[in-house]
Amino acid sequence: MPEVIIVPDQETAGNLVAGAILDLLGRKSDAVLGLATGSTPLPAYRTLASRAAADGLDLSRVRGFALDEYVGLPEGHPQSYKSVIRTEVTVPLNLTPSLVHVPSGDPETIQTAGDDFEQAITDAGGIDLQLLGIGTVGHIGFNEPGSSLSSLTRVKTLTMQTRRDNARFFGSLDEVPTQAITQGLGTILRSRHLVLMAFGEGKAGAIAGAVEGPVSAALPASVIQLHQRATVIVDEDAASRLAHTEYYRYAWANKPSWQSI
């Protein structure tokens, strides 16, 4: 069962997550971070960047692996996750660009890109902390409903719902690619700590299914229930369809101070 932390707003979530990452980096300055894109992790990245700058931290040894990438966007497209990771993560955190990996969505090499990405994660010694958002369909990464619970990095066809959800980043629905390459659910399960954030009522159903529903490929994020260390951080709206909020609040309020998230 994941730990569920209900917070008043995204800033509080961002602070908690930035704190957990800074704790990790204090123990391991070349830690390996799994990097989500989309709107959800932005407060965490921004807080991390400002706290690192305020403390004069050198993050040049940190390694990063993005969760996913669209297939077929031209090099340099502003909505490619390669561009987004550079703008939102690598540059503001002063990471070393060559240590930040994004799976390649180049159609020319797509057939081997999944295996190459898995090998790069293995060579780095695995991911220490994997940030996750959740789609309204219940995906993590771009593991759409029906994804194998043991899948590794590979190409998935996006559901129409996911393409509609992500059309806000593009000019129109037609511009949203049909396919993406994504870490698999099995890849995500290999990370040592999962931190999933969700904000807003639109995520409430997916969160209830992921945390309290049956573990099922029909709701891929439910696979986090199989992980030994999964932390779910949600605002009140995203928590609104959870059944056991009283317990989650009680457990968080009574958490021993020596335990980090």
Q: Please give the residue ranges that form the binding site for ligand F6R (CB under 6 A).
A: 36-40, 67-68, 133-135, 139-142
Q: Which is nearer to ligand F6R, 29 or 178 (CB)?
A: 178
Q: Is 170 in a helix, a strand, or coil?
A: coil
The Cα–Cα gap between 67 and 81 comes to 9
Min CB(203)–ligand F6R separation in Å: 7
Q: Is 95 in a helix, a strand, or coil?
A: coil
Min CB(169)–ligand F6R separation in Å: 8
Q: Is residue 65 exposed (0-12), middle (13-18) or buried (19+ Cβ within 10 Å)?
A: buried
Min CB(202)–ligand F6R separation in Å: 8
Q: Which is nearer to ligand F6R, 14 or 135 (CB)?
A: 135
Are 242 and 233 spatial neighbours (Cβ–Cβ below 8 Å)? no
Q: Which is nearer to ligand F6R, 33 or 36 (CB)?
A: 36
CB neighbour burial string for 186-218, b if at least 16 within 10 angstroms, e if fewer: bbbbbbbbbbbbbbbeebbbbbbbbbbbeeebe
Q: Which is nearer to ligand F6R, 19 or 38 (CB)?
A: 38
Are 102 and 7 spatial neighbours (Cβ–Cβ below 8 Å)? no
- The stretches of 28-134 forming alpha helices (DSSP H) are 42-54, 81-85, 91-93, 110-123
Q: Which is nearer to ligand F6R, 68 or 118 (CB)?
A: 68
Min CB(21)–ligand F6R separation in Å: 17
Min CB(8)–ligand F6R separation in Å: 19
